[in-house]
Structure 1
Amino acid sequence: MKQRAFVLAAVFAVWGACLHVSAAAAADHTANAAAGMNSQRDIVLAVANPIEPPATHAGSSLLGYAPTGYYGAGQRAVSTLNELKQSYGLHEVAGWPIKALGVYCVVLETPPGMVRDDVLKQLAKDRRVQLAQPLQDYAVYADATPAPSTQQYNDPYVNLQRGFVETDAAMAQRMSQGQGVHIAVVDTGADLTHPDLQGRIHDTHNMVDDDASAFDRDHHGTEVAGVIAADADNHKGIVGIAPKAVLSVYKACWYAPSSGGAHCNSFTLAKALAAVIDTDARIVNLSLGGPADPLLDKLLAQLLEQGRIVVAALPPDGSLGGFPDNAPGVIVVRTSETSTAPPNVVSAPGKDILTTQPGGGYDFTSGSSMAAAHVSGIAALLLAVAPKLDAASMREVLLRNSKMSGGMLQVNAAAAVAALREKQASP
């Protein structure tokens, strides 16, 4: 009897190991497939993915032998997906578990000759389906081509930083430098070897592919990271708004060979947001946007419910209603150079912003992406002073302490930090 139990346990252990090998292989397949997904053709579908807790007795279910922390595709999810793919003639492009929602999410390719909207209508009526929607495209909000380049710090380019100077960041940093505040940057990759970013980026996560060199060559994420947290007093380059903050970079967007700007999709962004949910990041910078999306909206709602400060860039056309600017609680940021803005939208410098570039360089760039990065940095300064500050209070502090600069109303880091410190000191 003991020998039989030993054999069964060994078999289950081997099967469990196979599950993990398959999960790792699936993750690699997902990463490689992201850039090849087609937003005109593909579907995002989610099915329930309950995972039973590990059992403590022999003869339990196969998944009961999965090590602690494992969350992949459960037997129910696998069976349901196989049935759906067979029923509707769909081909799986990639799949990924979303633990926060208790689902397994896949990108499916509609077969030739079938209209995607018709398939989605059928899937919406299928009780086995938790969510079915089009795969959608998103873009970062920065100029594709950088604009031409025309104390208390030893960083040589600090006086050329419009945003840093106009928001009085140097004065704010006498009171706070964002010490220890954790910021998740969901964007493209970033240059981890840049002299102004070394030590500022704590960890990275590639949700698009497994090309490390492409990660380091990505412009947009490098630019955003530099605005937020470039190192100070290192005799190099520029100074970030919050130079003592800690960054986690989640690559969910990539540069297509035929396009000058970076793009993302529902699937890669969902993977990134789901990963952020499992961290202690207090600020989430989303310098990107696109259409409203049910899956992304669910994940964003969880982040907001957890008390995260989510900072988003206003779309170039100035409209609200898409992802991520449509969610109540998100701090939406426009460039202060814009003439008009919807109510409660924060204004920050976004034109001709000097920041870090791949390969250890620096250049000027523009867009609401950079404006949002300034606000994420200021948010870190404020959280270092008042760690329990919520999103509504954060927006109020930013708006109430905005100042005119060059004829434009925009956030002021020094005024906001000083006001918050005064409030904290009051009995």
Structure 2
Amino acid sequence: MKARWSNRLSQFGLCLCLFLSLTALSGARLASADTVVVQEQNTAKEPEAKRRILVMLHLPAPHFRPDVSYSGGYSNDVSRTARRRIAEELARTHGLKLLEDWPMPVLNVDCFVMEESDAISEEQTIASLSKDARVAWVQTINTFDAQAKSDPLFPVQPANKYWQLDEIRKIATGRNVVVAVIDSGVEIKHPDLAGQISLNQNFIDGNPYIGENHGTGVAGVIAARAGNGVGIEGIAPNTHVMALRACWQEPENKTRCNSFTLGKALNFALTQGVQVINMSLSGPPDRLLKQLLDAAISRNIKIVGAMDPNRADGGFPASHPGVFAVADSKTRLLTNDILVAPGRDIPTTAPGARWSFVSGSSYSAAHISGMLALLSELKPLASLTQIRADMVVNPVNQGDANISGQVNLCATLSKLTSKCACSCHLTAASATAVNQP
């Protein structure tokens, strides 16, 4: 009996010590993802009305061809005025109000946002515009949601234990790799992200760039600084993050995006030579985004999407062919096409120079983006097909079935590069335990 009480007291003391060490963090402030206080200045109203559509106009053949420094502007495009006149004429003819526009040279179209009147149904407006030869296509503006529930911390990072990051760092850290994080704003001056963001761009008009919970958390999982004595360490800490703000934080910590803002960010990323694009969000299938994703995949850019457990197909863009669809092991209805990575009780960066614990497939996707950054450093010319074929996964228990999906990072690196700085064998039992709460 005395031995039993002694063991319990020892366990309690260990837990207490761990708690005190986490809360200390050299003066850092730690918050729970479930109790994050959403400050007023970090929230934004949805920037578009419900009855707005996207109208794509064909670009003329002699169109300005952007190089990698092109930011998506119109400054040198002499045909802008002509296309604007066409859009204005279409708006007048169909009883619409022209609001804003953005060039999509990757798809050879210009994208115009138009507001509908209540007099004509959306179906009628789209059908009528689609008959015009100058129009490439017309679509609704879809809404997308982030898939999240809302160095002293490195020992408690799940990926440290199950992906053996200390050992993997001996052969890869993501050096010279650029990962585009298309999300809400990333806090650029966060202690764990300072110097990690190579570029930040805002694609939400009338809404200044700010650091927000979801984008800051995703960026931290991918590329938080290693060895700086505070907080966490990213999966690929030498990766350069391109922070593309296409989503905004709403009250109650919800993060939203739409077709237009995401389209602008994707088009920009494709002109910047990125190797990986992280999209920890989900929504309905979207024609504009599908075509941009296809353009990225054709350029061998690795796209990572977070699976939405509330959608039968996992949600878009995770459901799109060629996208690395990611979930955590608690997600129901996993299939062999879906990768599983840590996504429960993940410590990561938060606005206000804080750290928080987060959960959701958004952060599982961020783990895979970090992994793909490591692979991009070691094997930059590997095709998406080769990476997918060489990815080693272990079974995840789902009821009566074992689904192959839990990524074994060590074995994947070994198979793809013939290098292995760590144990390249992960048992099914330990793989299943990665995401246990």
Is contact 1:297-1:323 (8 Å) kept? no
- Pick which of 340-349 and 230-239 moved more: 340-349
Q: Match for 1:182: what amino acid?
A: V
CA deviations over 1:198-238 (Å, ceiling 9, x no partner): 111110010014654x522x010100000001000011111
Q: Match for 2:153: what amino acid?
A: Y
Q: Match for 1:36: what amino acid?
A: P
| Residues in 2 aligned to 1:371 and 1:72: alpha-carbon distance in whole angstroms | 44
SS of the residue aligned with 1:215? coil
Q: 1:64 aligns to what? A: none
Whether 1:124 aligns to 2:120 is no
Q: 1:396 aligns to what? A: 389
| Residues in 1 aligned to 2:78 and 2:326: alpha-carbon distance in whole angstroms | 36
Is contact 2:307-2:314 (8 Å) kept? no
Whether 1:162 aligns to 2:155 is no
Whether 1:86 aligns to 2:82 is no
Q: Match for 1:215: what amino acid?
A: I
| Residues in 2 aligned to 1:389 and 1:210: alpha-carbon distance in whole angstroms | 40
Q: How does 1:316-355 map to 2 (within 5 A)?
A: 316-317=309-310, 319-320=312-313, 322-355=315-348
Q: 1:225 aligns to what? A: 219
| Unmatched 5+ stretches in structure 1 | 1-32, 55-66, 146-154
Q: Match for 2:48: what amino acid?
A: M
Is contact 1:45-1:133 (8 Å) kept? yes
How many residues align structurally? 365
Q: Match for 2:309: what amino acid?
A: P
Is contact 2:153-2:232 (8 Å) kept? yes
Deviation at residue 164 of structure 1 after TM alignment: 3.1
Q: 1:256 aligns to what? A: 250
Q: How does 1:160-309 map to 2 (within 5 A)?
A: 160-209=156-205, 211-212=207-208, 215-216=210-211, 218-257=212-251, 259-309=252-302
Is contact 2:236-2:374 (8 Å) kept? yes
Is contact 2:187-2:351 (8 Å) kept? yes
| Residues in 1 aligned to 2:287 and 2:74: alpha-carbon distance in whole angstroms | 30
SS of the residue aligned with 2:155? helix
Q: 1:410 aligns to what? A: 406
Q: 2:371 aligns to what? A: 378
CA deviations over 1:70-111 (Å, ceiling 9, x no partner): 347624312321220111010012111111122211111101
Whether 1:136 aligns to 2:107 is no
| Residues in 1 aligned to 2:120 and 2:74: alpha-carbon distance in whole angstroms | 42
Q: 1:22 aligns to what? A: none
Q: 1:111 aligns to what? A: 117
CA deviations over 1:217-264 (Å, ceiling 9, x no partner): x0101000000010000111111000011110100000234x531100
Pair 69,393 (structure 1): closer, same or farther in 2 beyond 3 Å: farther
Is contact 2:144-2:256 (8 Å) kept? yes
CA deviations over 1:356-390 (Å, ceiling 9, x no partner): 00111111111100000000001111111111112
SS of the residue aligned with 1:233? coil
| Residues in 2 aligned to 1:346 and 1:365: alpha-carbon distance in whole angstroms | 19
| Residues in 2 aligned to 1:156 and 1:272: alpha-carbon distance in whole angstroms | 34
Q: 2:108 aligns to what? A: 102
| Residues in 1 aligned to 2:79 and 2:193: alpha-carbon distance in whole angstroms | 37
| Residues in 2 aligned to 1:368 and 1:321: alpha-carbon distance in whole angstroms | 11
Is contact 1:50-1:74 (8 Å) kept? no
Q: 2:362 aligns to what? A: 369
Is contact 2:74-2:103 (8 Å) kept? no
Q: 2:55 aligns to what? A: 45
**What value does the CA root-mean-square deviation take over the aligned residues?**
2.6
Q: 1:18 aligns to what? A: none
Q: How does 1:2-21 map to 2 (within 5 A)?
A: none
Whether 1:36 aligns to 2:47 is yes
Q: Match for 2:245: what amino acid?
A: K
Is contact 1:292-1:321 (8 Å) kept? no
Select 1:357's aligned residue among 340, 350, 363.
350
SS of the residue aligned with 1:100? coil
Pair 71,303 (structure 1): closer, same or farther in 2 beyond 3 Å: farther
Q: Match for 2:84: what amino acid?
A: V
Q: 1:58 aligns to what? A: none
Q: TM-score, normalised by structure 1?
A: 0.80
| Residues in 2 aligned to 1:340 and 1:321: alpha-carbon distance in whole angstroms | 9
Pair 223,422 (structure 1): closer, same or farther in 2 beyond 3 Å: same
- Pick which of 100-109 and 158-167 moved more: 158-167
Q: Match for 1:251: what amino acid?
A: R
| Residues in 1 aligned to 2:332 and 2:136: alpha-carbon distance in whole angstroms | 42
Pair 115,389 (structure 1): closer, same or farther in 2 beyond 3 Å: same
Deviation at residue 310 of structure 1 after TM alignment: 0.6
Pair 347,53 (structure 1): closer, same or farther in 2 beyond 3 Å: closer
Q: Match for 1:87: what amino acid?
A: T
Deviation at residue 346 of structure 1 after TM alignment: 0.7
Is contact 2:247-2:258 (8 Å) kept? yes
Deviation at residue 403 of structure 1 after TM alignment: 6.9
